[in-house]
A and B are shown apart, each in its own frame.
With several copies, the nearest count.
Chain A
Amino acid sequence: MSSFDALAFRQFFPFFNNNPDWVYLDTAATSQKPQQVIDAELAFYQRQNSNVHRGAHQLSQHATAAFEAARDKVQQFLNAASRSEIIFTSGTTAAFNQLAFGLMDTVLKPGDRILISALEHHANIVPWQLHCQSHGVQLDVIPLDPQLMPDLDVYQQLLALKPKIVSLTQVSNALGHILPIGSMLQAAKAAGAITIVDGAQGVSWQVPDVQLWPVDFYCFSGHKLYGPTGIGVLYGKQRYLEQLKPLLGGGEMISDVSFQRSSFAALPARLEAGTPNIAGAIGLAAAIDFIRQFDARQINQYKGELLQQFAAGLSQIPGLRPLTRVEQSAGIVSLQLAGEHPNDLAMLLNEQKIAVRAGSHCAMPLFAALQLPGAVRFAFAPYNLPAEVDVTLQALAAATEILR
């Protein structure tokens, strides 16, 4: 048994006191926020609020210091080599759009290839599609193996085509499966590719050491890591960040503007146009402080225990077919009820105040490959309790009973 104290952990989250009848199993969509994250935003607005960077005045300098301290916090969190490798974005989606737009013409030339996996979220598909065709760049996909993981043999064959970019999710948001990202990145590097990791789901499973991992870009969203909405991070190795064409132009990202032409400022400013989400960055820093108080290994072990308990219960309910292989999951179980549409199951769980998602989870190509209309996703977090697993299993039994 993990020595992690989930009940104590849960106390930090006001949401649960305010929603005592609900079982929240939708953390993969967004996590709940500890009071200290909320307080950090509140304190900023009540005490320090001022715009950053431009200020002669001390209030603005304090706001800037707090904002830049948030950047330092993220740098330490990922162990980035330099603070200018941390770009604040509005989220993972914005980060991928900066990447897809920014690599075209500079790194990616007509005829080049990008390699992603069949497990990707739309954020790691659609931005590429927006630009690939007009730039003559080809998007290749690593298919699934029978374990619903990327097929590593085919991966090797696709790497032989020398993709310029390999962009992979660390953890599948639809299934929870943890990709063998270390070895996959190594293989990509060996093939000479620039590597990108979508950490939206993965960062709460395992924080990368971006100097140890062979990863050139890493993206995640604050709101899935106990932080606020509207803030995310694009980490990039300096030499690659410098090659990105800015997606956004405006204040702060230029060093010189005339009506004829503008020249860009140094990183990180170059990729952060306009007034940033200052309070959001400060909230994200508070979230990082919060989560670093706890032992990640213990948390993961605890989540594993919840998954085991859930999986054991599922096997007692006739007709349920998990898609997720629990032993390779970071906290998610996705399942089907034989012959039924996932939406029906989710509605019956909702009626019993179990908050889950049904559908294709912004991973339509995955479900197309599986030839399924979607699945019902149960996403467990360290604030979930064994008792909630039991309640969920009972609710599932009642729901399948009705659908039978």
Chain B
Amino acid sequence: MLQQLIADTATGLQQIAEHELPLLQQPADWQSKYRLLMQLGKQLPALPEKMRQTEYLVRGCESRAWLLHYQEPVSGKHYFVLDSEARIVKGLLAIMLCFVNGKTGAELAELDLSRHFDALNLRPYLSQSRGNGLTMMLQRIQSTIKA
């Protein structure tokens, strides 16, 4: 089940990296930006209801999100499946995953996500605010790979 989700996620992310990320960088009106973000989210598989369990829950103050994790034993690469009940947040999580998925612990430690978000004009979404699901998710990713 998790394997299938990871595979679907990988397919979605490849799509996104090839087609949508470049679009996000182009100047567009704000409406298109959000339409695109929601589009992105749709390319990630939805977590089946029975897998939306408390142990996978990452709680922002305003919407719930879920994180599942798998580390490939040989390569040591980390794979995540993320979902959110809010569509825009899910799109942002998809972008986050583009930079995170399939990386080793060492690569992740080096990763400067805010630089990438900056480049996409999405910096504000990575702020300190606890209410913000994205920051919580980033922290959860970091603590997951350390565990």
A residues within 8 Å of B by Cβ?
52-56, 58, 60-61, 64-65, 68-69, 255-256, 269, 340-344, 346-348, 351-352, 357-359, 373-374, 398, 401-403
Contact = CB atoms under 8 A, between A and B. Distances in A.
Contact of B87 (A344, A358, A401): A344
B2 interface: no
A69 B131 CA distance: 16
Contacts of B62: 54, 56, 342-343, 346, 357-359, 374
A340 to B, nearest CB: 8
Contacts of A269: 130
A344 B31 contact: no
Contacts of A342: 62-63
Given A58-B124, A341-B85, A53 B129 contact: yes
A344 B92 CA distance: 12
Contact of A53 (B34, B59, B61, B87): B61
B85 A373 contact: yes
Nearest to A67: B128
A398 B31 contact: yes
B71 to A, nearest CB: 23
A54 B60 CA distance: 9
B119 interface: no
Contacts of B17: none
Interface in B77-122: 85-89
A393 B34 CA distance: 19
A343 B128 contact: no
A351 B132 contact: no
Interface in B44-91: 59, 61-64, 85-89
Nearest to A58: B124
A226 B62 CA distance: 26
Contact of A347 (B61, B64, B88, B130): B88
A403 B38 CA distance: 9
B127 A343 contact: no
Interface of B: 30-31, 34-35, 38, 59, 61-64, 85-89, 124, 127-133
A67 to B, nearest CB: 8
Contact of B131 (A56, A373, A398): A56
10 contacts: A53-B129, A53-B131, A56-B131, A60-B131, A342-B62, A344-B88, A348-B88, A373-B85, A402-B34, A402-B35
B85 A61 contact: no
A358 to B, nearest CB: 5
Contacts of A58: 124
A55 B131 contact: yes
B88 A53 contact: no
Contacts of A346: 62
A53 B127 CA distance: 11
A346 B87 CA distance: 12
A54 to B, nearest CB: 5
B87 A61 contact: no
B102 to A, nearest CB: 28
B85 A54 contact: no
A65 B128 contact: yes
A55 B129 CA distance: 8
A351 B62 CA distance: 16
A69 B86 CA distance: 28
Contact of A255 (B59, B86, B132): B59
Nearest to B85: A341
Contact of A64 (B31, B89, B128): B128
B20 to A, nearest CB: 16
Given A60-B131, A64-B127, A343-B86, 20 more contacts: A52-B129, A53-B131, A54-B61, A54-B131, A55-B129, A56-B62, A61-B124, A64-B131, A65-B127, A65-B128, A341-B63, A342-B62, A342-B63, A343-B62, A343-B85, A351-B30, A352-B30, A359-B63, A374-B63, A402-B35
A402 B34 CA distance: 8
Contacts of A344: 38, 86-89
Nearest to A256: B59
Given A64-B128, A64-B131, A348 B34 contact: yes
A341 B59 contact: no
**3 nearest A-B residue pairs (beta carbon):** A343-B86, A359-B62, A343-B63
A402 B31 contact: yes
Given A343-B62, A402-B35, A68 B128 contact: yes
Nearest to A359: B62
A98 to B, nearest CB: 20
Contacts of A61: 124, 127-129, 132
Contacts of B132: 61
B131 A341 contact: no
B118 to A, nearest CB: 15
Contacts of A358: 62-63
Interface centre among A54, A269, A402 (most CB of B within 10 A): A402
A241 to B, nearest CB: 17
Given A343-B88, A373-B85, A53 B63 contact: no
Nearest to B139: A266
